[in-house]
Amino acid sequence: MTTEHATSTPRLAEPAAARPTRTGRLLVAGVIVVASAGAFGIASLTFDKTLSPLQRQARAEIRGLEGYFKSFHRITGRFPSQAENFYPLLQVGLIKEMPQDPWGNPYQYRMSDKGNGYIMSYGSDGVAGGSGDAADLISGGVLNNAMVGTEQQQQQAAQEESR
């Protein structure tokens, strides 16, 4: 034996519990991949390339207004009527002024006969109907957990509005 080998201290093996197992590493890697895919999926759903920047802004503002209506419901136990519009939200301090869409038109708060409430913007032209930047944008519904989010329901809501 050479002196180099004789003077080196033997290396002790780590206990099995201290060593990461292959299964554990694979599990962690799998969780990271699934979480990344989920985050990418959510990001692609929320970023609709068919909408203009102002339409995306209006959609985000509508979602925020939905949250204010839900907060109002938690505070008071009810949703505002269509006649009350946004005024109760002003009175309790949830909003500071009557909300306007990115084109300067007031957001609309409507309630169907079935008690389904929704918030909408008439788009750039401020008139019901239209396409492109003038297309109407509608919330997913805020009352009674009734969602007005499908295309058919959106059309029905717009028809109710025009009556």
Residues 153 and 120: their CA atoms lie apart, in Å, by 13
pLDDT per position as a tens digit, 24-65: 677 777 778 777 777 666 655 555 568 889 999 999 999 999
* Residue 140 reports pLDDT greater than 90: no
Number of domains in the chain: 1
- Domain assignment present for residue 36? The answer is no
Strand 117-121, strand 108-111: pairing = antiparallel
- Domain assignment present for residue 162? The answer is no
- What would the two tokens of residue 141 be? 């519904």
Q: Given this model, what pLDDT does residue 22 score?
A: 72
Structure letter (DSSP) for residue 110 = E
Percent of the chain with pLDDT over 90: 36
- Domain assignment present for residue 163? The answer is no
pLDDT greater at residue 72 or residue 10: 72
- Domain assignment present for residue 113? The answer is yes
Residues 118 and 154: their CA atoms lie apart, in Å, by 10
Q: Which domain holds residue 96?
A: 53-139
Mean pLDDT (the chain, rounded): 77
Q: Given this model, what pLDDT does residue 122 score?
A: 92
Task: For residue 63, give the CATH number of its domain.
Answer: 3.30.700.10
- Domain assignment present for residue 75? The answer is yes
Name the residue among 147, 152, 137, 132 with its Cα closest to residue 59. 137
0.85 exceeded by pTM: no
* Residue 158 reports pLDDT greater than 70: no
Q: Given this model, what pLDDT does residue 68 score?
A: 93
pLDDT per position as a tens digit, 63-94: 999 999 999 999 998 889 999 999 999 999 99
* Residue 131 reports pLDDT greater than 70: yes
- Domain assignment present for residue 125? The answer is yes
* Residue 138 reports pLDDT greater than 80: yes
- Domain assignment present for residue 17? The answer is no
- Domain assignment present for residue 102? The answer is yes
- Under the banding of pLDDT at 50, 70 and 90, the label for residue 23 is confident
pLDDT greater at residue 56 or residue 114: 56
Name the residue among 58, 59, 64, 65 with its Cα closest to residue 46. 59
